[in-house]
Structure 1
Amino acid sequence: MNWDLANPFVIDIRVETDDIDGLGHANNAVYVSWLERCAWRHSQSLGLDLSEYRRLDRAMAVVRHEIDYLAAAYEGDELQLATWIVESDQRVKMQRRFQLVRPADAATLLRASTTFVCIELSSGKPKRMPVEFVEGYGQALIQPYPLEL
C-alpha cells in the first residue's frame, strides 16, 4: 500500500448498507465514525483503553477534525484506514493523521487530521497528560513528513 507516512496502524473497513446516504455513497458522518474507530483501536493497541482512561481519570477528547473527502466509497467496498500520531506536546495536545484507501484500485478516498486535548473525565476540563499517556502515545509518535520528499 502506498501510505502517506511510514508504519501506519491500519484497520479494515467494509462499507455496509447502513453507511450509504441518499446520494448512493458512504455518508460523510460515517467517515467520522471510522476515524474514531481507528483511533480507538490504535489507542487500545498501545494499552490505553477505556478502562485505563477511567482508572487515570483522563481521556483524549477531539477538539478539531480537518477532513479532505477525495473520492466516494460505495456499498461493499473493502477499505483500509491508517492512522499515525504525528504530534504531541506531551502535556495536553496530540494530533493524528489518517488516510483511507480502497485497495482494489489504490485510490485514497480521504485524508484527515484530528487534534485531541487531554481532559479530566470527572470534570471535563483540560488536564496534563499522565505519564501513561506520554509513554503510551509517545511510543507511536512519528515524524510528520511524506515518504517521498
Structure 2
Amino acid sequence: MSEWDLPDPYVLAMNVDAAFIDRMGHANNAAYVRWLEKVAWAHTDALGLGWDAYQRLNRAFVARHTEIEYLAPAFVDERLLLGTWIVENDQRISMTRRYQIIREQDGLTLARARTRWVCVAVDSGKPRRMPPEFISGYAVALTKES
C-alpha cells in the first residue's frame, strides 16, 4: 500500500470515466495530464486564487514543463485520489507542483508527476512577475521536499 510521498497533500477524489479509457483498456496517458490540471485548479480555487482572481489580477500560471512517471494503469470506474503539493516558489515568476495519483481501493500509487508553472499576463501570455496576492496565497501551501 502506498502512502503520500509528502505530508498534507491537497487531495481531490475522482472516478475514472469511460471516456478516459483507450484501446488498451486502461486510462490513456493524456488523461493523466488532464487530472493533474484538474487537481491543480481545485487546489488553486481552495486557496482563493481561482479564475476570477486570475482575471482581476491579469495574471495566470501556465505549464512550462511536466514530467510524469506512469507506474500502473487506471481502469474504468476506479476511484482515484489525486494529491498535489507546491514544492517550490521563487516568488517572482515560477513555482513547481508535485503530484501523486493513488488508487483508493488498494492504495497503489499509479503515477507521480511534477510541473513547473510560469506566471504570465492573461491579456498577452507574456511572462510577468507574480502579484503580491499570488505570493501570499500560494505561500501558505508551500511544502518542503525531503
User: Secondary structure of the equivalent of 1:33?
Assistant: helix
User: How far apart in 1 are the matches of 2:123 and 2:49?
Assistant: 18
Corresponding position: 1:141 with 2:133: no
Q: For residue 32 of structure 2, what is the amino acid of its counterpart?
A: Y
Q: Name 1:99's counterpart in structure 2.
A: 100
User: Secondary structure of the equivalent of 1:29?
Assistant: helix
Q: For residue 141 of structure 1, what is the amino acid of its counterpart?
A: L
Deviation at 1:144, TM superposition (A): 1.1
Q: Name 1:8's counterpart in structure 2.
A: 9
User: How far apart in 2 are the matches of 1:55 and 1:112?
Assistant: 30
Aligned residues: 145
User: How far apart in 1 are the matches of 2:126 and 2:24?
Assistant: 39
Runs of 4+ aligned structure 1 residues displaced above 3 Å come to none
Q: Which runs of 5+ in 1 are unaligned?
A: none
User: How far apart in 2 are the matches of 1:129 and 1:121?
Assistant: 12
User: How far apart in 1 are the matches of 2:31 and 2:114?
Assistant: 16
Q: Name 1:36's counterpart in structure 2.
A: 37
TM-score if structure 2 supplies the norm length? Answer: 0.98
**What are the within-5 Å matches in structure 2 for residues 33-112 of structure 1?**
33-112=34-113
- Percent identity for Structure 1 against Structure 2: 50
Deviation at 1:104, TM superposition (A): 1.1
Q: Name 2:22's counterpart in structure 1.
A: 21
Q: Name 1:130's counterpart in structure 2.
A: 131
Q: For residue 3 of structure 1, what is the amino acid of its counterpart?
A: W
Q: Which runs of 5+ in 2 are unaligned?
A: none
User: Secondary structure of the equivalent of 2:135?
Assistant: helix
**Aligned-residue CA RMSD (Å):** 0.8
Deviation at 1:77, TM superposition (A): 0.6
Q: For residue 142 of structure 1, what is the amino acid of its counterpart?
A: T
